Structure 1
Amino acid sequence: MLGAIGLDARQESAYRALVALGAAEVSDLAHRLALPETDTEHALRRLAQQGLAARSSAGEGRWVAAPPGVALGALLARQRADLERAELAATALADEYRAEAAEPAVHDLVEVVTGASAVARRSAQLRLGAADEICALVAAADGRPELRPGVAYRVVVERDALSRGMRELVGALGPEGRVRVVDQVPSGLVVADRALAMIPLTARDSGPAALVVHDCGLLHSLLGLFEAVWREALPLRLTPGGYEESAAGPDATDLEILSLLLAGMTDARVAKRLDLGLRTVQRRVKRLMELTGVTTRLQLGWHACARGWVARDPCG
C-alpha cells in the first residue's frame, strides 16, 4: 500500500507495527516483525529519513511513530509536487520534440529496431503514445494485440489467428465491426494516429527486428495497404457459439438504396420509395460504409460502382 511513497514491504510493516504500538524498543519491534534487530534498525532509519519515525528521548533503542495524518500527508504532497514538475518537463520535451521533428532528416524517418526487448519496448511506446486510433494487421504468428482504453481500433486478423484470445478481442471491441478477417495479411503492421507505424522484419538466422516509420511517403503507403486490406476483409461479430462473419456484400434492399441514392434521391425520398423507415435507410448506408471502409458517401458510391453492386450509368 505504501510502496507508492518509496517504502518497501519491510519498512511498511515496521511503520504499521510502530503506529499500532505508538512507541517500541528495537528488540520488541524485531520480535513482533520476526526480523533480526539489525534489519529492524535499518528499516527504522529509513522511516526516520522519510519523517515517519524518530528516536525517543526515553532511550537510545526506543522509537516512536510520527502521526500518519501529518507524516504521510507531507510525503504525498511532496510526491504530487514532483509529479507536477515531471509533467511540466514531459510537456516541454514533447514540444521540443515536435519542433525538431517538423523537418526531420531523411535518415531519421525510418528506425531499425533489433532485439526482442527493444522491439517489445518500442511497440509498447507506440501503443501507449496513441491518442486517437490504432490500425493493425495481425498475422497468425503475431498473437493478440493489446488494447488501450480510450483509443479507437481497427484490426484485421488472419483467419488462422482466430483463437480464444481473438474471441476476447472481438468482444472487447464491441459489435461495430472493428475487427475483420482475411485469409492472409501481407504483413504484420501497427499504425498509431496515422503518424507512426511499426512493421516486423524477418531475416534468416537473425533475432526479432522491426521498422518504425515516421510521417513520410512510406508511412502513407503503409496506410494505403491497411485500408486496402480493411476494405476487402469481412467484419467479425461475436456469437454464443464463436464467430460470425458478415456477408461479403449488400443484400437486395441495400442495392436498391444505393441505386436510388446514386440517382440523386435524398434519404427521406429513398425511405418513402421503398417503404422503409428513414433510420433504417441511414443505418443500412452506415453499415455499407463500414463494410467498404470509407468515411463519405461519395467514396461509398465509387466503391459501389467499382465492385459492381450497382449499374455504372448512375455513377456517370
Structure 2
Amino acid sequence: MLGAIGLDEAQEAAYRTLVAVGAAEVGDLAHRLGVAEAAAERALRRLERQGLAAQASSSASSGARRWVAAPPGVALGALLNRQRHELEQAELAAVLLAEEYRAEAAEPAVHDLVEVVTGAGAVTQRFAQLRLGAVEEVCALVTGRSVAATGYDAEGRASARGVTCRVVVEREVLDLPRGVAELTAALARNEQVRVVDRVPAKLVVADRSLAMVPLTTGRDADPAALVVHASGLLESLTGLFEAVWREARPVRLGTAAPGVELAPAGPDPVDLRILSLLLAGMTDASVAKQLEVGLRTVQRRVKGLMEAAGVTTRLQLGWQAYERGWVER
C-alpha cells in the first residue's frame, strides 16, 4: 500500500514491524521478517534515508543498537506532501505540452508545406500518385526538355476517370519524335491543350491542392522534384499556370500535317450554344440540362469564355460576345 510513496515490499514490511513493536534490533527484526540480517539492515538504512526510521540507544543486555519507527503521521505525511507536489508539477507539464501540441497542429510547420523527392524512380512514382489522386482537375505545363516524368501524354489516365485535364505545351514539344502523335492522342481523350512559344517551367497541379515542379533540369543531374502542399507558394504556382493558359493558343485535330493546328481565339460550337442560352436568360443548371452536360462543364466553359474575352464578369462577357461577333444581337 505504501508503494505509491516510494517504499518497496521489504521496506514497508520493516516499517510496519517497527511501528508494531516500537523498537527492535537488526537481528530481532530479521527474525520477525524471515530474512537475513543483511537484508533487514539494508531495509532499515533506506528507511532511515527517507526519514521513516532512526537508530536509538543500544540494548542494555546485548549492546546492539536498536531501531525505532518515526511517527507515521509526521513521516508519512511528509512523503505524501512531496509526492503530491511532484504530481502537481507533472500535471502542469502535461498541460503545457498539450497546449504546445495543439498550437503546432493548428499552424503546420513550414517544412510540412513542401517535400523534396529525389531519384528518377521516386520522382516518377510521386508524379503518378499526384495524377491518380486527382478527382476534379489536373493542370500541367509541359516543356521540351527531358524530365523524369513526361507531360501531357501521361494525363490520359486522369481524363479517362472523368477528371478535367488542361495542358499547355511549348512549341518545341511538337518537334519531338512523338510530339505530334502524343498531342493528337491527348486531344482524342478530350483533353484541353494549348501551345505557347515558351513554357516558363514544367509544372503539374492537381485539384489546386498539390503541385509538383522539378528541381533539376540538367541531363546529367539526378532527377529531383519539389512537391508543394496548400500554401501561398501553391497559390502562386496555380496563378502561374492560369497566366500561361490565358496567353496560350488552343490546338485542335487537323487533317493537314502535322496533324494538329492552332485554333483561332474564340468559342467552339458548344461554347456558342452555352453562351446563347445564357444570354437568353437561362441559368447554368438549365443550360446543363438542356445540353445534357454536367453543371461543372457549363461553368468551366463559361470561365474559359471569360478568359478568352479577357473579362472578369458575365456582364462583360455578354458585351464582348456581341462586340466580337460571337453572337448576334
Relative to the length of structure 1, the TM-score reads: 0.49
